[in-house]
Structure 1
């Protein structure tokens, strides 16, 4: 065998290995995409029912004598009125055959516990409704909602069904008469947390996440950029600076729960800052995000060509002017990209916030960074741990909203990098 044949055989083996490696790489990518699609499909199919709300249409008589108020009553008097009476009376008028006490309790449970608050808020907004009859679509109970959406199988024997035959018959009667309707669940985006699945919403968690990220950004961005500029442009090369750089890199790999322990020990126990508050969560997350932004900012500053610095210095600019007027603007796209990625990482964090008490059940929607609140990942954690069947779809829906924000933040980072990126 001559040298030409030996070379050809070796080339065949090499090309075969290259094709095999390429095929394995493509299979890996396809497999990863399939698993991702499977995960997203599973989340979407479980989440979609949460965006649909079931309503029960009833004609209620807002009788002055029953409510104990009139159109001239002030808001305090309206708040104290019993709005359950007209709703229950409307249900009994719809089903006059219901006379037993146990049956009445089942009948009253067709509407959500929040129905009376819905009616109260309508009367507060328009007191002229008192003394009139109104046809209103009330939020249905979670069991009714599950029956309409098919989560509870109507064909199962009564012993295997959560909804018994009497209640199922009333639901089917209302459905046949067109008094049960479905529509988009705006309440999910406009309400805070609740013990009742049909009343639970994510507005409080979204605002809590927003306030927490604002505090995180306000603290971490200027400190991280200033640290990166100093280390890259002004710091002398000595052992102390090397020690600082090593520790910054190490901090990026510290488990996030350690930052939560730091926040619990220092900010809550020592400084007595409020528990479950976005300001504490923002401080903790800013400490966790600092190394990420510093490393990204240093890389962006280092990528600026030395000729830009030299040209500025050659034209008489000082070192400070060269950095802040020329180097920093050129590095800003990379700095912003790293900052947004750091914020996206902070948005998805759970462990450090658990340690500072943001796992508490918070019903009220926060109005400032010092109000008790929770965040989206914690809300997902709380709902996933709930035994109520209705919270399963709420959990998946909250995950979808969280994924939407994460994808949007990463998309913004990519857009900024592409828009402002310069080829040196």
Structure 2
């Protein structure tokens, strides 16, 4: 073995235990009571060894809008937050990842610049049905689509009929499609304040769109995943789909589990996202759904932009929350208050996201898995300072918020993450 990590608390697939974790060739080879290696790293008494987190919902925006983020800054932020694998969304970059050629452009932009492992989603838009099979064969992890305007004109949304035609091609491949589920017929023009913005994207917009997703899953047999659920009312449809045995899963995000509409001031556009952050009672519905397994995973939907695009009011500002570095402490802070443990957090933020996209060697500390680790001090508190964050632009709704849990070190395939970009570009099927 090249390395042994020794800890009083290790989160494994079988629960929390004291263990030595042995590493050779970048993989975990043993989890046992006492192991020896050339290098032994002993964790401090207040530290817990977690598997590296897997965030399957990240907007890097590179190439084309690298002033919003970029592969170097996004992956440094990920590593600082204990995230060792991300899957990049197909929009906000130029060109959007809707053809094999565009996927090649994005991979070229990322090559040699990433500090964690990076995979890529393809996109479904109205005019690219003939490219979907080739994108799948080129290694895209699945396909993202919008049922409502995406926010950028070069990635247009699809109708349910257009999505059904795409799913007819993708279902025989077993390909995963992930859906921004809001019904455009239920959305109105927002006013400048937060309440008017919230009212413009009501619960029923999500609920009706998820109804459509469930019906498409039933009609086509395709695998469908509902992105960033913000509304407790939409969860009844997810429950129905799972009860029917349909291949439907769902995620939510740290900002929906942390913030509440009652506390958002009219000028605080750093909180703007679509779908919106809702009220406190709704937040508790999301937590209950997560606890019962109705919501499968938690990912950040890191969607940064320049400070200029966040200026103005809720009618005009860019919608997106920057949080890649803060997802783990944000979720842990709220989870522990509700009686959840780190085994739950690891399932939601590491194992289940990895399983969703078929990365069976990620998101767990077990023999055969990649030696991706986060050393986490769950009881250490801090106050978020946007100046200390690694993503490109210092805009986040978490600024000034006290959180619990600090990531002290991160390993990628048995090597400490440092200033050298040693991440790999992943393709679907990598294990």
TM range (shorter): under 0.3
* TM, length-normalised to structure 1: 0.26
Pick the structure with greater CA Rg.
Answer: 1
Is the helix fraction higher in 1 or 2? 1
Q: RCO (CA 8 Å, sep 6+): is it higher in 1 or 2? A: 2
Is the strand fraction higher in 1 or 2? 2
* TM, length-normalised to structure 2: 0.25
